[in-house]
Amino acid sequence: MTTVGVLALQGSFNEHMAALRRIGVKGVEIRKAEQLQAVDALIIPGGESTTMAKLAHYHNLVRPLLSFPALREFVSTGKPVWGTCAGLIFLANKAIGQKSGGQELIGGLDCIVNRNFFGSQLQSFETELSVPKLAEEEGGPKGFRGVFIRAPAILEVGPDVEILADCPVPLETKKSIMSVDNGQEEEIVSRERVIVAVRQGNLLGTAFHPELTTDLRWHSLFLKMKKDSSDRCLQRVPTSGTDLEDSLGKRPFDLPIYE
């Protein structure tokens, strides 16, 4: 059976682990670099990106556990990697709107991400997203309830990046954003919509939190992503409620999630 690692330094890793259990996939909490060798895919969850970066540095400098080089090496293997919210920031080649001094990135996803684009924790929100590509590949409705918590947004993408969802900019969000990049103020062009979900090769990025909903289609989509160097798809057990009850003995909805 496929084994999916979930980076467990900080953030919503428990919710991703629960989602994986609900579709019958083995999840492993990843805190050591050596654990990456035993997983077929990796999820980098939402959380506080600066805190997660500091923890990764701490593990690298004080205890030889998980480090950015180890994560970059995993991305370079071509195995599927999914970043949600803070995880999306880490996967981006460039992030703006960071705190003084910036933070280290894993990179690989050809896009520019604005950290905390939608504002502070108080500006967190839910909205219906149009997801025709997700519906085409995974079935279900063409809409998805996106949960945005102190969320980033994707401002620009490269030619090889597939846009899976975008989102209108709320009225309370400043349309013209000032950020500091390499010591210089940079003004981002005013816009009405921003990108919130993308896919590029073995990488998937979402600015919102699918793990906080009952809709498992993003997890299913991720599990079907192919390793670049192989035609092999990740294997998983059937996802219907009946099959889950038969294989696991009960429906494992063990964490509070949004309907």
Task: State the pLDDT at residue 258.
Answer: 38
Examine residue 202 and state whether it is found in any structural domain, yes or no.
yes
Highest mean pLDDT range out of 43-47, 55-59, 209-213?
Answer: 209-213
Q: Give percent above pLDDT 90 in the chain.
A: 51
What tens digit of pLDDT does each residue of 216-230 get?
999 999 999 965 434
pLDDT in tens, 7-41: 987 677 899 999 999 999 999 999 888 889 999 99
Contact yes or no for 116/74 (Cβ under 8 A): no
What are the catalytic residues?
Answer: 85, 209, 211
Residue 124's pLDDT band, with cuts at 50, 70 and 90, is confident
Q: Is residue 253 part of a domain?
A: no
Does residue 256 lie within any of the structural domains?
Answer: no
Give the structural domain span for 115.
Answer: 3-248
CATH number for the domain harbouring residue 190:
3.40.50.880
Q: Are 66 and 55 in contact (CB under 8 A)?
A: no
Q: How many CA atoms lie within 13 A of 40 on its CB side?
A: 19
What is the spatial distance between Cα 149 and Cα 208, in angstroms, rounded to a whole number?
Answer: 7
How far apart are the C-alpha atoms of 22 and 217, rounded to whole Å?
12
Cα separation, 56 vs 206, in Å, equals: 21
Q: Confidence band (pLDDT; 50, 70, 90) for 65?
A: very low
Angle at 167 between CA 166 and CA 171, to 5 degrees: 155
d(CA 28, CA 8): 9
pLDDT at residue 177 above 60?
no
pLDDT of residue 121: 73
Residue 254 lies in a domain: no
Domain count, the chain: 1
Average pLDDT for the chain: 77
For range 172-193, the mean pLDDT: 55
By three-state DSSP, how is residue 121 classified?
helix
